[in-house]
Amino acid sequence: MSNAVDSGGNEQGEKPQSAPGQSERGQNATARSVRLAPSLICADWTRAGAVEEELAQAGCEWLHFDAMDGHFVPNLTMGPMFLRALRPHSRLHFDAHLMLSNAGDYITEFLEAGADSISVHVEGNPHLHRLVARIKEGGAKAGVALNPGTPPAALDTILPDLDTVLVMSVNPGFAGQKFLPSALEKIAHFARERQTRGLDFLIEVDGGVSPETAQAVVEAGADVLVCGSSIFRPDCSLQNSVQALHAVIDQALGVSDG
């Protein structure tokens, strides 16, 4: 794993001091930036350190951690110990997505493990304001995720309190699913709400994001693209996979190489 020092003098292993997710890519052409958040559920966990370094060198600024409990979703994946193991060796933004029936019981553990942002689901969490407040009090950015079948109006009252809205563009639980086009209107809805209400939350999209779907997702208003199987491909290096997605993002934003 890399111990490089960034331009601000921070040794890798320290948390970033700039605003989470702020990107310099394309800022000369547009005030808007879009980040990639590779989902480590698709990575080779035996090479986690090397994967983190390769993704950082490829220009990724976020890492996405999918925590699944086998109850809220039909899969069982990583917990806070995985974040804790990587945290001392990375200055990337750690983004935790809690797909847990009892997410509130684990917020403190993910905070202590080093998560920079934590998203919980609107489904199954009746006390969202309480969970969001706990995440923020712990020093992380707070997000709320919603499944494809949940209408965007479910977040109307809590939007002003959020740092991130996570739009699921597949039914959560497994990687490699096909992108659901209905997510595009949901993304556009939150982009309109953000503008008309003067809010500043990020719109994150998770599920089926690939070079074939990323342009429409960005044009609809997304700021953070969670990518799993489209980055971790057996036939392509991480550098090339990330580069292909960045090219599509730049095209959607109207960014030229010059």
As annotated, the active-site residues are 66, 206
Question: Is the C-alpha dihedral spanning 205, 133, 155, 192 positive or negative?
Answer: negative
Please give the Cα distance from 234 to 136 (Å, whole number).
38
Question: 166 vs 48, 124, 187, CA distance in Å?
Answer: 24, 15, 9
Question: 35 vs 128, 206, 222, CA distance in Å?
Answer: 26, 12, 9
Question: Is the C-alpha dihedral spanning 67, 72, 76, 81 positive or negative?
Answer: positive
Question: 7 vs 10, 11, 18, 55, 63, CA distance in Å?
Answer: 7, 10, 11, 18, 20
Please give the Cα distance from 91 to 87 (Å, whole number).
8
Please give the Cα distance from 167 to 184 (Å, whole number).
9
Question: 94 vs 30, 196, 232, 243, CA distance in Å?
Answer: 25, 30, 18, 21
Please give the Cα distance from 250 to 238 (Å, whole number).
18
Which among 134, 214, 194, 163 is positioned nearest to 20, based on CA atoms? 163
Please give the Cα distance from 206 to 227 (Å, whole number).
7
Which among 170, 161, 162, 157 is positioned nearest to 228, based on CA atoms? 170
